[in-house]
Structure 1
């Protein structure tokens, strides 16, 4: 392992959805210090090469453990490798870092995500509800209700916090709630309720880019739209 790689023990595996598992990875004696929303990088050897993949902890810093929610893709080298791991396995990872984290706890916030892009949003939402001083909206897009990650957590948080509203939008299921691309519901959530919020966006690149364009058309300044910054190159 590289010198900046920590050796973690896999202590728990929980099946969250049919294709997503949550993994608890502990580094004994280590105190993880990072900004919620930042990502770790998992490292492993595969067919003679070193594979590195970023994943975002959904838990807050200050402990020896990272909680990662990882979706299995049939053609995904890292996700299928993680899917085969067992409790007790050792896994290499880095101290979290990156550009996605809360910029201003005094400002209203809007979290917009699809798929496993929800993971940094969950971490940032937990921090904001603990330390923030404004209104928060959490918009999450998935295919079906069965695919929704952290639904119980989000429902409990929205029940416990009057300053939080949660919206799920499904693209492949006819149900009683919103449908279609999640970013198309921005107007109904934002109109008249938020004062110049920061927008945190993570998910598939076309959603991120489309969301940025919609917000720019609304007159939102670029410095109020925070993403990882690579999405336009991936579309």
Structure 2
């Protein structure tokens, strides 16, 4: 057993716990988001002590972070007593997390394995969040399941896109047992995947249901009357995996400087060659030094996209990602 210290408060850390898990279990409030090493919300400096750090998503910690002993607490284990200092300060425009009940207003099957859940908040309640953030379902046993919000902050209903995972307890519940009008608990908003201020053109890369937070961002951006060039690349395995293409077609008609294309990795569709979505981006746009990239999908896709985009000239600080990790079955 080790002792952790933050802001003068001590807490116990078991060798099997990450520092973040130990702090939370001791009732200490620290910033966090994904808890999987991809969002950067729990970044902290190890002032004293020794730690072991698991692998994380590329680009979350810079070389400067590493040289300054900055770590992600969700992936860091103490190997001695440690003193830490949280680096993530709440900004004036950030919204506090809250736990609230929600009612399932509507369930819509969007394709063979993606369910749209529309959630309604209690009367008089609203949820303030930045487009691109996510929520967590709080299950009866205390476990949590995270899903990005696909609605814009100004929408009345919360929209989620849930893909059926083979053997996944919660996703099977959504597809086979969840009922309209049922009541659930959520906590939100969470996460650091949101639009940054910039005048650079934007590339959005979505793998499957990684489209959800990107839909939220683009709708919010458009309603705010912003003007920046947008390229949207959506990656699917086959055409049957495509969903909400009508949303994208509507954007093409109504958003200036907007281009979008669907990419299929395992099927030729309308004569379009098979490709991984990130490779199509590089083939079409070439040098990426003048762009901001927002990438959302499976961790493997994000990792290889980051590597090859940087090789194509992208500034590592202009790559923003949200990795969808699947909970234990």
Counterpart among 151, 170, 177 of residue 264 in structure 2: 170
Q: Which has the larger radius of gyration?
A: 2
Q: Secondary structure at the match of 1:187?
A: helix
Contact map agreement 1:199 1:224 (CA 8 A) in 2: yes
Structure 1 distance, partners of 2:110, 2:322, is 25
Q: 1:85: which partner in 2?
A: 178
Count of aligned residue pairs for this structure pair: 225
Per the alignment, do residues 126 and 62 of structure 1 end up closer, same or farther by CA in structure 2, a change over 3 Å counting?
A: closer
Query: Aligned residue for 1:32?
Result: 127
Give ranges in structure 2 of 5+ residues lacking alignment: 1-96
Secondary structure of the structure 1 residue equivalent to 2:189: coil
Q: Would you say the 8 A contact 1:137–1:189 is kept in 2?
A: no
Structure 1 runs of 4+ with >3 Å offset? 228-231
Question: Quick one: structure 1 residues 185 and 109, their matched pair in 2 at CA, closer, same or farther if it must change by over 3 Å?
Answer: same
Q: What CA deviation, in whole Å up to 9, does each residue of 1:48-97 have, x standing for no partner? A: x3220111111111355211111111211221122221111001111222
Matched, 1:199 2:199: no
Aligned to 1:113: 206
1:185 corresponds in structure 2 to 280
Is the 2:297–2:323 Cα contact (8 Å) retained in structure 1?
no
Alpha carbons of structure 1 residues 230 and 66: separation in structure 2 relative to 1, 3 Å:
closer
Give the SS at the match of 1:227. strand
2:160 corresponds to? 68
Partner SS state of residue 192, structure 2: coil
2: CA distance between counterparts of 1:13 and 1:162?
32
Q: Which stretch has the larger CA shift, 171-180 or 135-144? A: 171-180
Change (3 A) 1:63 1:114: closer
TM (norm. structure 2) is: 0.64
The residue aligned with 2:137 is 42
Which stretch shifts more, 135-144 or 161-170? Answer: 161-170
CA contact (8 A) 1:51 1:78 kept: no
1:135-186 residue CA offsets vs partner (Å, 9 max, x unmatched): 0000011112121122110012113224111111112222223422111111
Q: How does 1:133-172 map to 2 (within 5 A)?
A: 133-172=227-266
* Unpaired runs of at least 5, structure 1: none
- Which of 201, 219, 222 pairs up with 1:126? 219
Match of 1:97 in 2: 190
- Relative contact order (C-alpha < 8 Å, sep 6+): which is higher? 1
Q: Deviations over 1:188-220 (max 9, x none)?
A: 33248x872210011111110111011111221
* 1:70 counterpart SS class: strand
Paired with 1:161 and 1:118, the residues of 2 have a C-alpha distance of 17
Q: Does the 8 Å CA contact 1:168/1:178 hold for their aligned counterparts? A: no
Q: Residues of 2 paired with 1:181 and 1:67: CA distance?
A: 27
Distance verdict in 2 for CA 1:195–1:149, change over 3 Å: same
TM-score where L is the length of structure 1: 0.88
The 2-side partners of 1:229 and 1:169 are apart by 19
Structure in which a larger fraction of residues adopt helix: 1
